[in-house]
Chains A and B, each alone.
Chain A
Amino acid sequence: MSETNSGADAPSPDKSEATERRLAKETAEKAGSRPEPTEPRRALGQLFLDNLWAANTVTVTVLAVVLAMLIGGVLIVVSDEDVLATFGYIFARPSDAINGSWTVVSEAYANLFKGSVVDPAAASAWIAGEGGWQAVFAPISETLTYTAPLVFTGLSVALAFRGGLFNIGAQGQATSGVILAAMAGFLLPLPPVVHVLVAVLAGVVGGAFWGFIPGFLRARTGAHEVINSIMLNYVAVYFLAWIIFQGAVHDPERTDAISKRVETSAQLPRLLGSDLRVHAGILLAVAATWAVAWLLDRSTLGFELRAVGANPDAARTAGISVTATYVTVMSIAGALAGLGGANMVIGSTANALTPQVVAQIGFDGILVALLGRAKPWGVLMAALLFGALRAGGNTMQSVSGISLELVTVLQALIVIFIAAPALVKAIFQLRAARAARLQTSLAKGW
């Protein structure tokens, strides 16, 4: 009968989970189950993470990218009317269809590469002394520019994940960060170096506050952080849309939704001269990755965070305050996402607030965290891949005329191929674990 009890209650995500588990356990004990330590009910998140790690990360990632590009290739062919027409007479002259498909797909991917890593033509021109070095490094510069904010939001989601929380609110936290960073950038008259530091700090504070709210609600009331952080995403987005038109913020010379410009003194320095967009944000991103890695593996806070993420009951019994950890984790996660947001307005992407200023970096951050297996350096690599896809996508669109949306599709496919098996396994293991509990009680006697 204990199986019916523990099996029937769905994995409820809120804080009464521990309570429920204890109730189920007590009923089981009263009902006369064997006095043996019960296997802790594992949270879906933890199972998912285990599965995500269990796979051989390098092979699986490479395969996922290849598979995604194959499907992407099919989409390119299907969306090209000329090539599609050749399929009409594929049995009469198959070479047309095959050659046509090959050309359009290979060109697309070649442009993706040229736009994100290096354009061989520009490189040989530079070697021959006919072109500038800027043209050679431009693709890398673009890639790094797109990478930086994704590193921050990816780290934000990954850190929360390790602490047992789903931070779906990176988008809102980034929005909150971008608002404060931008306002610090055009409202405060400060000297150059101080100004940029203050702007960065403003982004951190904005994001941390937006992360603190769902963390606090979770700790205090048990309200689930997924719901709250999603809701706060909307609040942040509409707050941004509103504040752009307020007197102190709106650009007086414009009628559309755009704020004043962030002063140059508040902008992150560009690394490779003013022609290339790559800026100090990427250095900050690497530093943040190192800091998060240190925090997780080498600090007392990280120890608490991982303990709470892996087994909140044992953490609590060992005197770790689970609620305080939740608040801290969400605040730090928010701060990271806020940094990502600040990057969007004090870097080179934009210099004023618009409703789309943070793009989708918060949601992309979730994908990056999954692809990076919720590990800091993995997140950095994943962000690099996504940044490259985004940068190359621009070239692909302008040269091959293939919609930028294809890049979004590729990103989604990669993550699906990596995350979905883990998710599916996690779900099946949850069921298997229930079945196994029933089975052990039959098959094992002690």
Chain B
Amino acid sequence: MEPGEIHALLGENGAGKSTLMNVLYGLIQPDEGEILVDGEPIKIRSSRDAIDAGIGMVHQHFMLVPVFTVTENVMLGAEQVRGGITGVLDRRRARAEVSEVSDRYGLRVDPDAVIEDLPVGIQQRVEIVKALTREVDLLILDEPTAVLTPQETDDLLEVMRSLKAAGKSIVFITHKLGEVKAIADRITVIRRGRTVGTANPDASRDELAAMMVGRNVSLTVEKAPATVGEPVLEISGLVVDDERQCRVVDGVDLTVRAGEVLGIAGVQGNGQTELIEAIMGLRPAQAGTVTLAGRRTDGWSTKKMLRAGVGYIPEDRSVDGLVKQFTVAENLVLDIYDREPFAAGLALKADAIAASARERIGQFDVRTPSADVPVGTLSGGNQQKVIVAREMSRPLKLLIAAQPTRGVDVGSIEFIHSQIVHERDIGTAVLVVSSELDEVVGLADRVAVMYRGRILGIVSPDTPREALGLLMAGVTPGESATAGSGESPTGPQASEESA
């Protein structure tokens, strides 16, 4: 690492990027090898050692106390005291320090704001401020853009540039190729714990992706134009309140037709989860109607929905998708165990279940030692394939896929995407919800953008990213950018107002 360099660390899920950085930050002890800082080998046994060596880290999970102010959070662990032994906290000095650091690097953070009131993008900056006040020279950012809107991501890249200008080095961990190309000075690709190579940012996306996975991967989902048929799922005026009586879905109208993929884009937590759960009968709706192939289904049980030809890939596979203690074979019949040919009356037909499991394991390329191992022992990608296999191996009218490739390796992503497109091509209506914009845009024939429980617009997947990003941040094309930003949960304007 050079001073004033932005070094991107690129690799698939599970490649070892974060592990490497955790070694640097002293959270994990290395078995072999050494770390050199300014040419000298050092031992980092704890994060305290790392900070002393000038290394700071911003984790994916922010380490902030929600009810404390920015200043208090920055002070935490390095409290300034005055008054000698009485140990009175010197808030004023800490506050001045926060303002100073935040001004110097253009971070625009209000030192008196309470963390839980701040949007995600600003909280991340608080983490950066926290690291900077410890006077670090090397800052590790672990997948910092995973939860940001495109605008927030741009702002973050801006902050990174100003840090670089101030001579700080940054290690930027990600698996998003676009960001890497936009900001990095040097790119190191890691695969299965080894450095595969170093590349310059002018390398093409395809080259980088090939280095990451070790073979050529089709990043764009290949698909023919959709042959659109009759409406299959019609939602009108759907209103859903969550457990806290907060309105999370606020009058959604949507139509999904046979043979098309409707993608719902949006930052996590804008009502997508609740919308899907309400359609599936997992959550009561307060108002509105849901129609499946001409029949009103609101008030139907989940079982009835599944029986009516709805395939459902839930967004959280460990919690909602699989019973981890059950075998692969059992999970493959989790929602059809009581139907022909798997059951006769009250009795399960073990042979039929085993035979079908073998067939589907082959068909969906599930890598498992056998159909009788607990599904929890498989990798994330293979667990997800079990769910996909289960939902797609019966005739469907409608497929609902929520975050179908979350936490899944690139190879499995490709496979799952091709299966979803295949389902579309045989005339199934498909509804895809994903917080990965690339995924939505790649799969969908139409993109609905959801923001704060409403559908802000339905656009073509060819819409420029900037326009989609603005929609995701709640700015509709009709409004001017400034008018919209007041409502926006994020963005630089908001922080300026509060600062």
Binding site for B on A (CB under 8 A): 1-4, 16, 19, 21-23, 25-26, 29-40, 46, 50, 298-304, 306-307, 310-311, 313-321, 441-446
Q: Is the CB of B318 within 8 A of A317?
A: no
B90 to chain A, nearest CB (A): 25
By a CB distance below 8 angstroms, the chain A residues around B435 are: 35
A441 to B22 Cα, complex, angstroms: 10
User: What are 15 residue pairs bridging A and B, where the CB atoms are less than 8 Å apart in the complex?
Assistant: A1-B62, A16-B243, A25-B319, A31-B120, A31-B123, A37-B318, A38-B318, A304-B337, A306-B326, A311-B322, A311-B324, A316-B282, A444-B18, A445-B19, A446-B407
| Distance A441 CA – B58 CA, assembled complex (angstroms) | 11
Q: Give A25 to B312 CA distance when docked, in angstroms.
A: 20
B65, B304, B325: which contacts A4 (Cβ < 8 A)?
B65
Q: Which chain A residues lie closer than 8 Å to B338 at the CB level?
A: 300, 303-304
Interface residues of B in 313-352 (CB under 8 A from A): 314, 316-326, 330, 334-335, 337-338, 343, 346-348, 350
Chain A residues lying within 8 Å of B318, measured Cβ to Cβ, are 37-40
Q: Which of A16, A25, A37 contacts B407 (CB 8 A)?
A: A37
| Chain B residues whose C-beta falls within 8 Å of the C-beta of A301 in the assembled complex | 346
Q: B215 contacts the other chain (Cβ, under 8 Å)?
A: no
Verify if B136 is at the interface (C-beta below 8 Å from A).
no
Q: Are B348 and A300 in contact (CB under 8 A)?
A: yes
| Nearest A residue (CB) for B173 | A445
Q: Which residues of A contact B268 (CB under 8 A)?
A: 29-30, 35
Cross-chain contact B316 with A34 (CB below 8 angstroms): no
* Complex CA–CA separation, A321 to B326 (angstroms): 18
CB-CB < 8 A to A316: which residues of B? 282, 302, 320
Question: With A and B bound together, what is the CA distance between A198 and B306 in angstroms?
Answer: 42
Q: Does B186 have its Cβ within 8 Å of any Cβ on chain A? A: no
Partner of A443, one of B19, B244, B304: B19
Given A25-B316, A38-B318, check contact A3 B61 (CB 8 Å): yes
**B320 and A314: CB pair below 8 A?**
yes
In the complex, are the beta carbons of B282 and A446 less than 8 A apart? Answer: no
Chain A min CB distance to B470 (Å): 20
Question: A363 vs B314: C-alpha distance in the bound complex, in angstroms?
Answer: 41
Contact B18 A32 (CB under 8 A): no
Whole-angstrom distance from the CB of A348 to the nearest CB of chain B? 34
In Å, the complex CA distance between A32 and B119 comes to 9
Contact among B18, B28, B66, B282 for A31, CB-based, below 8 A: B66
| Binding-face segment, B74-82, B103-111, B140-148, B197-205 | B140-148
> A315 to chain B: which residues have CB within 8 Å?
323, 334
The answer to whether B337 and A310 touch across the interface, beta carbons within 8 angstroms, is no
B94 at the interface (CB under 8 A from A): no
* Given the contacts A1-B66, A311-B324, A314-B320, A33 and B243 also touching, CB distance less than 8 Å: no
Indicate if the CB atoms of A317 and B407 lie closer than 8 Å.
Answer: no
Across-interface contacts of B343 in A (CB, < 8 A): 300
**Given A22-B243, A298-B350, A299-B347: A445 and B301 within 8 A (CB)?**
no
Contact between B269 and A30, CB atoms less than 8 A apart = yes
Give A307 to B337 CA distance when docked, in angstroms.
Answer: 11
- Knowing A4-B65, A35-B146, A303-B348, the reply to whether A317 touches B406 (Cβ < 8 A) is no
A320 to B435, CA, bound (A): 28
Interface: B193 (CB within 8 A): no
Q: Once the chains bind, are B60 and A33 in contact (CB under 8 Å)?
A: yes
A441 with B269: CB separation less than 8 A: no
What is the bound-complex CA distance between A40 and B306, given in angstroms?
A: 23
Verify A35–B147 contact, CB threshold 8 A.
Answer: yes
Whose C-beta in chain A lies nearest to the C-beta of B310? A319
Could you say which interface size class chain B belongs to?
35 or more
**How far does the alpha carbon of A39 sit from the alpha carbon of B383 in the complex, in Å?**
13
Would you list which residues of chain B between 395 and 435 have a CB under 8 Å from chain A?
403, 406-407, 435
A356 CA / B383 CA spacing, docked (Å): 53
- Closest A-chain residue to B343, C-beta based? A300
How far, in whole Å, are A25 and B269 apart by their CA atoms in the complex? 10
Beyond A35-B146, A298-B348, A446-B13, whether A317 also contacts B314 by CB under 8 A is yes
Q: Once the chains bind, are A36 and B407 in contact (CB under 8 Å)?
A: yes
Contact A443 B27 (CB under 8 A): yes
CA of A127 to CA of B13, assembled, Å:
75
- Bound complex: CA of A275 vs CA of B64, how far in Å? 76
Q: Is B124 on the interface with A (CB-CB < 8 A)?
A: yes
Query: What's the least CB distance linking B171 to chain A, in Å?
Result: 12
A88, B459: Cα distance in complex, Å: 95
Contact (Cβ within 8 A) A443 B18:
yes
Asked whether A31 lies within 8 Å of B319 as measured between CB atoms, the reply is no
Extra A-B contacts (16), CB below 8 Å, given A29-B147, A317-B282:
A25-B319, A30-B269, A31-B66, A32-B123, A35-B403, A300-B338, A300-B347, A311-B324, A311-B325, A317-B321, A318-B334, A319-B335, A321-B301, A321-B303, A443-B27, A446-B407
Contacts of A25 in B (CB 8 A): 316, 319
A40 to B407, CA, bound (A): 15
Q: Which residues of B contact A304 (CB under 8 A)?
A: 337-338
Instruction: Report the separation of the CA atoms of residues A304 and B333 in the bound assembly, to the nearest whole angstrom.
Output: 11
Asked, given contacts A1-B62, A317-B320, whether A445 binds B326 with beta carbons under 8 Å apart, the answer is no
B486 at the interface (CB under 8 A from A): no
Report if B461 contacts A (CB, 8 A): no
In the complex, how many angstroms separate the beta carbon of B229 from the nearest chain A beta carbon? 26
Q: Is there an interface contact between B143 and A1, defined as CB atoms closer than 8 Å? A: no
Contacts of B64 in A (CB 8 A): 1
Would you give the 0/1 interface string for B46-67, flagging 1 where the beta carbon is closer than 8 Å to chain A?
0000000000000111111110
Q: Which of B250-305 contact A (CB under 8 A)?
A: 268-269, 273, 280, 282, 301-305
- Which residues of the other chain, B, contact A39 by a CB distance below 8 angstroms? 318
A336 to chain B, nearest CB (A): 17
The distance from the CB of A47 to the nearest CB of chain B, in whole angstroms, is 11
Q: Which of B21, B326, B337 contacts A300 (CB 8 A)?
A: B337
Q: Is B17 an interface residue (CB 8 A)?
A: yes
Given contacts A298-B347, A307-B326, A314-B334, contact A36 B61 (CB under 8 A): no
Residue among A1, A33, A446 facing the most chain B CB atoms (10 A cut-off): A446
**CB < 8 Å: which of B17, B22, B147, B324 contacts A33?**
B147
Nearest-neighbour CB distance to chain B for A317, whole angstroms, equals 4
* B150 contacts the other chain (CB 8 A): no
Partner of A311, one of B63, B323, B337: B323
A42 — nearest CB in chain B belongs to which residue?
Answer: B324
Residue of B146, B243, B312, B330 near A317 (CB, 8 A) is: B312
Contact B306 A442 (CB under 8 A): no
Q: Is there a chain A Cβ closer than 8 Å to B380's Cβ?
A: yes
Most buried by A among B146, B173, B302, B323: B323
B414 to chain A, nearest CB (A): 18
Whether B61 lies near A443 (C-beta < 8 A) is: no
B124, B324, B350: most-surrounded residue (chain A CB, <10 A) = B324
Q: Whole-angstrom distance from the CB of B404 to the nearest CB of chain A?
A: 12
* Interchain CB contact under 8 A, B142 and A310: no
Q: Of A2, A50, A307, A319, which one neighbours B301 at CB under 8 angstroms?
A: A319
Given A317-B312, A319-B306, A37 contacting B319 (CB threshold 8 A): yes
Contact A314 B21 (CB under 8 A): no
Contact B334 A445 (CB under 8 A): no
B362 interface hit (Cβ, 8 Å): no
Residue in B269, B306, B320 whose beta carbon sits within 8 Å of that of A29 in the complex: B269
Task: Tell yes or no: B14 within 8 A of A by CB.
Answer: yes
Query: Which of B17, B268, B273, B325: most chain A Cβ within 10 A?
Result: B325
Residues in A neighbouring B66, C-beta threshold 8 A? 1, 4, 31
Return the chain A residue nearest B23 by Cβ: A443
Q: How far is the CB of A70 from chain B (nearest CB, A)?
A: 35
Assembled-state Cα–Cα distance A126/B306 (Å): 68
Which residues of B (423-452) have their CB < 8 Å from a CB of A?
435
Give the CA-CA distance A314 to B27 in the complex, in Å: 34
With A1-B66, A38-B318 already in contact, the answer to whether A319 and B61 are too (CB < 8 A) is no
Q: In whole Å, how far is A272's beta carbon from the nearest beta carbon of chain B?
A: 35
CB distance from A171 to the nearest CB of B (A): 29
Write the nearest CB–CB distance from A192 to chain B, whole angstroms: 31
Report which of B273, B280, B319 forms a contact with A314, defined as CB distance below 8 A.
B319
Contact of B21 among A46, A299, A445 (CB under 8 A): A445
